[in-house]
Structure 1
Amino acid sequence: MAQKYPCKIVDMTFFDSAPFRYVAEVEVNVSAADVFASFENADDWPRWAMPIQKVEWTAPKPFGIGTTRTVSMVGGLVGYEEFIAWERGREMAFCFTHGSKDNIESFAERYEVDALEEKRCRVRWTMAMKPKGFSKYFLPVFSPVMHLSVKMMLRKFARLVEGRTCC
């Protein structure tokens, strides 16, 4: 098991107050239920979120507030996550409770899903973080790349879920 460094557990206000926020939005030609089915599928995350290598749900279904999972990423980073919001088909958010590297004070992600039609919805992804240590100096330099990466990954998510639907 990877070393665990505690992170500050945040609430939903962190998405407005975090020093670093990256937001992407995409419209997808699938239902909100299809979007959430993908979110709940551990095997889907590495297919669209490039840094993710493996997702392991560590709590049983039904998922909700308090659900936990462990996410292994490139570079040996492991994030231990707890969900702070969960309304299936509409919204979910999680924050790190611990990380395998001591460079994150707080990290959270929020996914908002707005149904536009029966088989069309808008997905808004917000990644929010407060680094510590060397990362406080590193992240500002790479923020433009982070903004682009989040947008690219969400477009890849859209292609993944739309590719499952046909006629």
Structure 2
Amino acid sequence: MTRWYALDEADAGFLDTAPHVFRYEMHYDATPEQVWESLQSDESLAAWGNTIGSLTWTSPRPFGVGTTREVGTGPIRVRERFFRWDEGSGYSFWVYEANAGLFRRFAEDYRVEPEGDGTRFTWVIALEPARALRLPFKVLAPLVKAGFGRPAADGQKYFATR
């Protein structure tokens, strides 16, 4: 049986004040409607590449504030709860449980905006590592940022082939 670790709640303010905030901005060759449709699809970011191994919405449609889902990347699985849902333009969530005790708090924000003939996708990841991992995260932050950024880059390739 999987052991789940509870994380402290995070909100919009945490996206600016977290010890580690990683920001990714990408241009996608797709309309904002296409990107939004993909983000809220059954597969969501898992369709963009192999970085996200599994994604299951655990709330019924229509999605909105309070929606939950479970996401897996390699051996790590997290359960997310949405605290912002702006239909067509973005959403934010915090991780409320993870199967590994890596984080104290973790939140993400996705923004979809028109940009020329495509879409500007802005993704912010905010995290506070568990106490014992603070120093390693500080030292490894550039590698952690690169790893977390792979799905955004996967999205660029995904939409370029559509």
Using the size of structure 1 for normalisation, the TM-score is 0.87
**Gap runs ≥5 in structure 2:** none
Counterpart secondary structure, 1:101: coil
Aligned to 1:18: 18
Counterpart secondary structure, 1:52: coil
Backbone CA RMSD of aligned residues: 1.8
**Deviation of 1:146 (Å):** 2.5
Within 5 Å, give how 1:100-111 maps onto structure 2: 100-111=99-110
* Partner deviation per Cα, 1:64-118 (whole Å, 9 max, x = no partner): 11100011221x221010011111221111111111112211011111111134x
2:79 aligned with 1:80: yes
Percent identity (aligned): 25
**Deviation of 1:47 (Å):** 4.3
**Deviation of 1:157 (Å):** 0.6
Aligned to 1:34: 34
Q: Structure 1 segments of 4 or more deviating over 4 A?
A: none
Aligned to 2:146: 148
**In structure 2, distance between residues paired with 1:102 and 1:146:** 16
**In structure 2, distance between residues paired with 1:49 and 1:9:** 29
**Deviation of 1:133 (Å):** 3.5
Counterpart secondary structure, 1:37: helix
Counterpart secondary structure, 1:89: coil
Aligned to 1:60: 60
**Deviation of 1:45 (Å):** 2.3
- For the 8 Å contact 1:38–1:161, the answer to whether it is kept is no
* Partner deviation per Cα, 1:34-89 (whole Å, 9 max, x = no partner): 11111122434234465421001000111111100011221x22101001111122
In the alignment, residue 52 of structure 1 is paired with which amino acid? Answer: I
**In structure 1, distance between residues paired with 2:22 and 2:93:** 15
**Gap runs ≥5 in structure 1:** none
Equivalent residue pairs, number = 162
Aligned to 1:120: 118
- For the 8 Å contact 1:25–1:151, the answer to whether it is kept is no
Q: 1:23 to 1:49 in 2, by over 3 A?
A: farther
- For the 8 Å contact 1:24–1:150, the answer to whether it is kept is no
